[in-house]
Structure 1
Amino acid sequence: MAGGLLALLDDVAAIAKVAAASIDDVAAQAMKSGAKAAGAVIDDAAVTPKYVQGFRAERELPIIWKIAKGSIKNKLFILLPAALLLANFAPWLISPLLMIGGAYLCFEGAEKVYHVLVPHEDHHEDGSVGEADDPAHLEEAKAAGAIKTDFILSAEIMTIILSAIPESNFWFEAATLAMAGVGITVAVYGSVALIVKADDFGLVLYAKGRLAATRAFGKWLVRAMPGFMMLLTIIGTAAMLWVGGSIVVHGLEELGFGWIGHHIHDWAHAVGLLVASDWTRVVEWIAKAAMDGIFGLALGFVVIPVATKVIAPLFAKVTGKTAGTNASH
């Protein structure tokens, strides 16, 4: 009897060790695969803070929480099952779908550049002007726009993670995607929360700091945040164009139209050779990212009239909703 009990305990211990090893494998693969999506993650973190600009301080964290919940739902309940189904049953669809998402990112980024170059009265989702008079409606519209943009970025992130997972079984892929997706969401929106509340923290330091250095740092933090937020907006727009452009270029290569990608690679390599060998790869990467971004900007400018004059009115006619230029404005 005692021998049988010991054998059972040994079996339970062995199963526990296997389960623990599997969890460790999933966690390690999630971190490794998630790191490959760094570009899209930076894009996500840089784009999001602008969605809480103009709101009262006490509404900033609730809005971020609302967007974060939308992002989790995007990743776990829509994109994770879709990615697994596509990977196992229709892998040929992944590249065209990614290209559509990349074109949308180019459109978003190019439209922001266009609004800077050609300033005009701001329009919102329903085409109305001055929705700031209704903060609750504006908050919902901003959150919806952020979640929509997050969906495209999350699709890219999840696809990159999936492509980085070595050939394995369905459940390992699902667990790795889920763990990486949740981890990235926590990291992104945790960082966003810290960024948007930095000025409030600076006010507290300035008002209640006991040391002169503390109050001076608080004052500097408050003054620096508007410029930092503007910098983040610029970085976010550039990242959207870079990520979107690179997705489309890579997709064209997979579809047999590789001449754009080949030219960008050759030009970037030539730029890299202009500097010392220690910096060649860094400069080459920067040059390639810049050219992908320029391609994305050009594509975005082409997509703007198609999206605003054809797709948006058609969508409005089908859904019965009033067409707007962009939900994110």
Structure 2
Amino acid sequence: MSGLLALLDDVAAIAKVAAASVDDVVGQAAKAGSKVAGVVIDDAAVTPKYVTGFEPKRELPIIWKITRGSLFNKMVVLLPALLLLNAFAPWVITPLLMLGGAYLCFEGAEKVYHWLWPHGDKHVEKDMSVGDPVHLEETRVKGAIKTDFILSAEIMTIILSNIEANSFWFEAATLAFAGIAVTVLVYGTVALIVKMDDIGVWWAANGVTGAGRAMGRGLVHGMPVLLKVLTVIGTAAMLWVGGSIIIHGLKALGMPGIYDAIHHLAVAVAGGSGFGEWAVTALVDGVFGIVLGMLLIPVVTRVIGPMVQKITGAESAGH
């Protein structure tokens, strides 16, 4: 009997350790995941465009295909690659973060450039020229998964760089949990956004009360506004996060000048207010991001893009 009680005590102890480990994984994942808010917002704001022009019944299947592609990107390709890099070449992580930050600055600045100086988009025009709906769907899904790979790489790298762990398996579990959670959050939100106008139409037609029907009509008319607001917020977040990554990366590489200057400016302007210092820092990081992004536009579209196109035969970078 005493042996059985001892065994039960051991099982209980192991269960407590396992539960604590799960709690640690979830806590670390939540903490690290909070650092990617800017990229997540942009991902959620960008994805709905890939279902534009399709029948409502195809919207959710398309989002599901993109979700599966996103999970493949994160779990099968990026997770093992980043863990190996972190284990054997951790010095690569900061440059990778900075490369991703530069991409975010470029993407954000390019959107601002389109807003300020509207012009035709040859890639969109080529996409819309596809007559076969099945082919168009395949093209859109492939394009969305390629875009997701870049955003997912940045998300997973940021998460990994913020995990406080000494164990390879703990890092792996935390990174996997955070990656899955972010994917569910992003594409669950996208699915809700995409179907919200259909919900509004149904509500407007079948609402029991006048207020309910009016709310349904409000959803229908409000969704375009919401998508525009999300686009603006996502763009601002990209520039802020991208600029911040570059500035922190320079500091980590032994060049703290810009970081220190922004910190001193934030302290001087905010006068000790924690939120004020954060707001000033975020604003200056965003300004830095848009300036860098604008400088990168001609480099990417005229030099790097054509070079990649020549090597791979793929479409050049830029939109």
- Are 1:110 and 1:241, in contact at CA under 8 Å, matched by a contact in 2? yes
Amino-acid identity (%): 62
Match of 1:307 among 286, 300, 315: 300
Q: Does 1:320 align with 2:317?
A: no
Which of 258-267 and 89-98 deviates more? 258-267
Gapped regions of structure 2 (runs ≥ 5): none
Alpha-carbon distance change, 119 to 32 in structure 1, aligned in 2, over 3 angstroms: closer
Corresponding residue for residue 278 of structure 2: 285
CA distance in 2: counterparts of 1:191 and 1:316, whole angstroms: 34
Q: Map 1:23-172 to 2 at 5 A.
A: 23-124=22-123, 128=126, 130-131=128-129, 133-172=131-170
* 1:155-177 per-position Cα deviation (integer Å, ceiling 9, x unaligned): 33323322332232111111111
CA distance in 2: counterparts of 1:267 and 1:13, whole angstroms: 54
Which of 185-194 and 313-322 deviates more? 313-322
CA distance in 2: counterparts of 1:22 and 1:135, whole angstroms: 48
Q: Map 1:197-236 to 2 at 5 A.
A: 197-236=195-234
Which of 312-321 and 256-265 deviates more? 256-265
- Are 1:105 and 1:152, in contact at CA under 8 Å, matched by a contact in 2? no
Alpha-carbon distance change, 234 to 38 in structure 1, aligned in 2, over 3 angstroms: closer
CA distance in 2: counterparts of 1:102 and 1:325, whole angstroms: 16
Which of 142-151 and 219-228 deviates more? 142-151
Q: How much does 1:93 deviate? A: 0.8
Q: How much does 1:266 deviate? A: 2.5
- Are 2:74 and 2:156, in contact at CA under 8 Å, matched by a contact in 1? yes
Query: How many positions carry a matched residue from both structures?
Result: 319
Corresponding residue for residue 180 of structure 2: 182
CA distance in 1: counterparts of 2:53 and 2:266, whole angstroms: 40
- Which residue identity is paired with 1:99? M
Corresponding residue for residue 19 of structure 1: 18
CA distance in 2: counterparts of 1:106 and 1:59, whole angstroms: 33
Alpha-carbon distance change, 281 to 8 in structure 1, aligned in 2, over 3 angstroms: closer
CA distance in 2: counterparts of 1:268 and 1:56, whole angstroms: 50
CA distance in 2: counterparts of 1:12 and 1:285, whole angstroms: 47
- Which residue identity is paired with 1:104? Y
Q: How much does 1:103 deviate? A: 1.1
Gapped regions of structure 1 (runs ≥ 5): none
Q: Does 1:297 align with 2:290?
A: yes
Alpha-carbon distance change, 136 to 288 in structure 1, aligned in 2, over 3 angstroms: farther
- Which residue identity is paired with 1:205? W
- Are 1:246 and 1:292, in contact at CA under 8 Å, matched by a contact in 2? yes
* 1:128-159 per-position Cα deviation (integer Å, ceiling 9, x unaligned): 37435444444344333433333333233323
TM-score of the superposition, structure 2-length normalised? 0.89
Q: How much does 1:214 deviate? A: 0.4
Q: How much does 1:3 deviate? A: 6.0
Q: Map 1:235-254 to 2 at 5 A.
A: 235-254=233-252
RMSD: 2.4
Alpha-carbon distance change, 112 to 281 in structure 1, aligned in 2, over 3 angstroms: same
